[in-house]
Chains A and B, each alone.
Chain A
Amino acid sequence: MTNQHQGLWIINPVIWRILTRCVGVMVLMGVCMGCAFVRGEMGDPFLEDRVKELKKGQTTRQEVALRFGAPDEIVQVNDYDIFHYRRFDSKMGWLLFFSRLNVGSDHLWVFFNPQGIVEDVIFGTRTDGLEFQIWPFGE
């Protein structure tokens, strides 16, 4: 079989290497153009030091409002007024046709007695371990 009969498949190895790299770069560009990482946050993070400043039996309703602003919600349970502060964090990874959005929330609940003094504080974060993920299958 001569080179002419082999047609397309007989290419100088250098040219072949350049050709495959060009195709590789094009595919890579195509993949990279279709990817995005997006983060959305709602509310300021609760700094643990500031939460620790809330002293049971001492801190007043006004002081809490000065530190954290107006609450997102006030819940009345039994004899307590409870200030509820929320924060949301979301991370989305998107690659071509796969995407996954992970949403987590942090909550701060401040319990006040009828005199308007802090009685209890509940605080928890679920946004610390939030990850950017693309693969939508599995866990």
Chain B
Amino acid sequence: MELMKTTLVGWIALVCIAFWSSGCEFRRVVVNAPIAADTLQRLNPGEDSLHDIVDVLGAPDEIDAKTSGMVFRYRYGDSKTMRVNFGWLLRLVLPFAPSMNLGRGEGDTQVLHIALNQDGTFEHYFIQDPPDPPGFWFWPF
């Protein structure tokens, strides 16, 4: 008997949580894989060729000219969005659910900049410190 009671209460709780949670939304968009800074230690200035760089990091997202040589650029992006529809709760007492949304999104990008000499050998790199990962929060104010 106790088992039946617990099961029924469990199912009711699950349905209630699913119903209430329908008013929330968690979205994430990730572009490319994070750039691992430690892999860059393998590159030797003036020695490693363009193909050695590609073997370590893959093909770049962008190539730009510089005074002598070129620049490879790699990008990584991560964004998180959360939204809560407080109007959804009114479904419990009203026949309709007015829309009362509060939402917020945060995004981070990381850029790796690799400079090559005129002869195509590795010159230097710049990379920003890994950004704090964006969080989920709905309060926009």
Contacts and interface: CB of A to CB of B under 8 A. Distances in A.
Contacts of B21: 96-97
14 contacts: A9-B4, A20-B8, A75-B63, A77-B63, A78-B69, A100-B28, A101-B30, A103-B31, A104-B33, A107-B58, A107-B59, A122-B54, A124-B54, A126-B58
B86 interface: no
A11 interface: yes
Given A82-B63, A97-B26, A99-B26, A126 B14 contact: no
Contact of B27 (A99, A125, A126): A99
B80 A136 contact: yes
A60 to B, nearest CB: 21
Interface residues of B, number: 38
A78 B118 contact: yes
Contacts of A113: none
A17 B68 CA distance: 77
Contact of B64 (A34, A75, A124): A75
Interface string A1-36: 000001001110000100010011001001100100
Q: Is the interface of B mostly helix, strand, loop or mixed?
A: mixed
B60 interface: yes
Contact of A122 (B18, B24, B50, B118): B50
A84 B28 CA distance: 29
B114 interface: no
Contacts of A120: 50, 120
A107 B61 contact: yes
B42 interface: no
B65 A9 contact: no
A128 to B, nearest CB: 10
